[in-house]
Amino acid sequence: MESVQTDTATLTLNGAEYELPLSIGTEDEVGVDINTLRSESGAITLDPGYGNTGSCESAITFINGEEGVLRYRGYPIGELAEKSSFVEVCYLLINGELPTQDELDDFRHKLTYHSLLHEDMKKFFEGYPPSAPPMSVLSAMVAAMSAYYPTGDEEVVDLNIIRLLAKLKTLAAFAYKKSIGQPYVYPQNRHSYTEDFLHTMFAVPSEDYEVPDVLEEALDMLLILHADHEQNCSASTVRMVGSSGASLFASVSAGIGALSGPLHGGANTEVIRMLEEIHEAGGDSSKYVEKAKDSDDPFRLMGFGHRVYKNMDPRAEIIKSTADRVLDELGLDDPLLDIARHLEEAALEDDYFIERSLYPNVDFYSGILYRAMGLPTEMFTVMFSMGRLPGWIAQWKEMRNDEATRIYRPRQVYVGAAERDYTPIEQR
Ligand code: SDX
């Protein structure tokens, strides 16, 4: 895109001209600031799904969807996935800079020593049936944290950020253990963050369990890849709820709800169910490509397409190559991976997908890796929540500290009935 020459946009409406200031981003992205549009012209803009509307200026994550670029605080996702750790990326997203060794050690220590739940919170799990969707349990538990850790001044807010980062993985593991009728496994301070999650998920009191390095490394990388993605549906939800002054826990609880939808984070679960259905039907993916193209058929190729990426999602490429390596190291051969590859090849050669720039997104291959780790399908979106948590926190914190923030309150164009008188029921 050529660099911007002017600093205003001109809107002509009903014969009048309105000069609207421009917001120019680090990478020369252009935002037309319509803050004064309604007060000056009486008109609003209309953009269902906000596909062309910026809600804020943000310094956290940059995406170039046309070129498949993703950076956290300026660092390319590929470098972070290869060289960093999830805990370090949490620090980077929330604080804006990579930590020094002392800062990282202190951050790790805090996350380790705040990973226990208040014992009374275990009672909440007892009320859930084993079939309770883990995302609804997680959302409720995070909201319940407000009861144990009320908000307060900035020092309390910062401590609650640590508490949430430290305890979400424990809540996730406890929800899983409750769902399979196994005893809870408590966090162990000797473990790293990701190692401790896998240990609380898979250890049992009756035998020692050492987390395999290959699983810890693969999961740590997956959590990094999911850590933030600018103003996606769930991050925008966290910002919207937080803009009313609601607590971090209330805001993130709402974000978990948004992420659970099958068009958003719930897609990773739907992808595996789609691949299993294809596998059980004999493995012919071409029929499903045709179904996805049929506008009369509600079926969509789950894990494909993206509002922003009109090129390959860089995260999908990293996950796909990691799936090959991990399955090889574990000596696993997952037929669903072959089906996924054939599906990708078929779709990327098909005009329907090419014309609409539909490529695999972060959810297309992630489920294959989660399966290889032994995670149950219903926990896949919970994994997405664990990865996205530092991003939600960073977005919430940036929103709170931004002087431009006002309570989110979009307008509308009313298309309902014009004014009319009430008619008594006997006259209807
Ligand atoms: C995530 O925003 C983020 O950053 C999200 C995320 C993050 O990190 O936070 O990246 C994570 O949510 C990834 C997306 C996971 N969802 C899925 O994989 C579900 C399947 N994908 C689609 O439902 C869809 O692609 C969305 C929801 C991802 C994007 O929807 P849009 O931007 O509203 O696009 P659209 O529905 O307007 O589709 C445009 C066209 C339509 O066809 P036409 O009406 O032009 O004929 O593309 C078609 C759609 O029918 N289309 C698909 C398709 N996705 C879009 N057709 C078949 N299969 C698909 N997957």
Its sign, for the CA torsion 382, 384, 386, 392, is: negative
Q: Which atom of ligand 1 is least distant from the CA of 230?
A: 4
Question: With 60 as the cut, is the pLDDT of residue 306 above it?
Answer: yes
DSSP conformation class of 100: P
Q: Is 136 exposed, middle or buried (0-12, 13-18, 19+ CB in 10 A)?
A: middle
* Lowest-pLDDT range of 201-205, 246-250, 346-350: 346-350
Q: Give 295's DSSP letter.
A: T
Instruction: Mark residue 14 as left, alpha or beta (left: phi above 0; alpha: psi -120 to 50; beta: remaining).
Output: left
Q: Which protein residue's CA is at the shortest distance from atom 40 of ligand 1?
A: 356
- pLDDT tens-place string over residues 370-427: 999 999 999 999 999 999 999 999 999 999 999 999 999 999 999 999 999 999 999 9
- State the Rg of the chain over Cα: 23
Residue closest by Cα to atom 11 of ligand 1: 264
Mean pLDDT of 258-266: 97
Q: What would the pLDDT profile of 101-144 be if each residue is shown by its tens digit?
A: 999 999 999 999 999 999 999 999 999 999 999 999 999 999 99
Give this prediction's pTM. Answer: 0.96
What pLDDT does 5 receive? 56
- Distance between CA 62 and CA 370 in Å, rounded? 27
- Check pLDDT > 80 for residue 338: yes
Per-residue confidence (pLDDT) for residue 209, from 0 to 100 = 94
Kindly list the protein residues whose Cβ atom lies closer than 6 A to any atom of ligand 1: 49, 229, 232-233, 263-265, 267, 292, 295, 300-308, 356, 358, 361-363
Ligand 1 centroid to residue 268 C-alpha, Å: 13
Distance, CA 58 to ligand 1 centroid (Å)? 24
Q: How does the average pLDDT of the chain come out, rounded?
A: 95
| Nearest-angstrom CA–CA distance, 49 and 51 | 5
The arithmetic mean of pLDDT across residues 186-215, rounded, is: 96
Nearest atom within ligand 1 for CA of residue 63: 4
3-state secondary structure (DSSP) of residue 297: coil
Report residue 273's pLDDT band, with 50, 70 and 90 as the boundaries: very high
> What residues contact 116, with CB distance under 8 A and at least 6 apart?
167, 170, 186, 187
**Under 8 Å CB-to-CB from 182, ≥6 apart: which residues?**
204
> What are 169-185's pLDDT values in tens digits?
999 999 999 999 999 99
Letter string b/e over residues 384-400, b meaning 16 or more CB atoms within 10 A of that residue's CB: bbbbbbbbbbbbbbbbb
Kindly list the distances between the CA atom of residue 367 and the CA atoms of 215, 226, 282, 374, in Å, as whole numbers in the listed order. Answer: 14, 13, 20, 11
Average the pLDDT over 225-242 and give the result: 98
Q: In this structure, is the dihedral angle defined by the CA atoms of residues 82, 87, 89 and 91, taken in order, positive or negative?
A: negative
391-407 pLDDT tens trace: 999 999 999 999 999 99
DSSP 132: S
Phi-psi region at 228: left, alpha or beta (left = phi > 0; alpha = psi -120 to 50): beta
Nearest CA to ligand 1 atom 30: 307
Contact of 250 with 241, CB cutoff 8 Å? yes
Using the structure block, give the residue that is written with the tokens 């897609």.
267
- From 64, 290, 306, mutation site for ligand 1 pocket: most ligand atoms within 8 A of C-beta: 306
Confidence class of residue 1 from pLDDT cuts 50, 70 and 90? Answer: very low
Going by C-alpha positions, the residue among 200, 151, 149 that lies closest to residue 382 is 200
User: How much helix, strand and coil, in percent to the nearest 5, is found in the chain?
Assistant: 55, 5, 40
**Closest C-alpha to ligand 1, atom 45:** 356
Active site residues: 306, 363
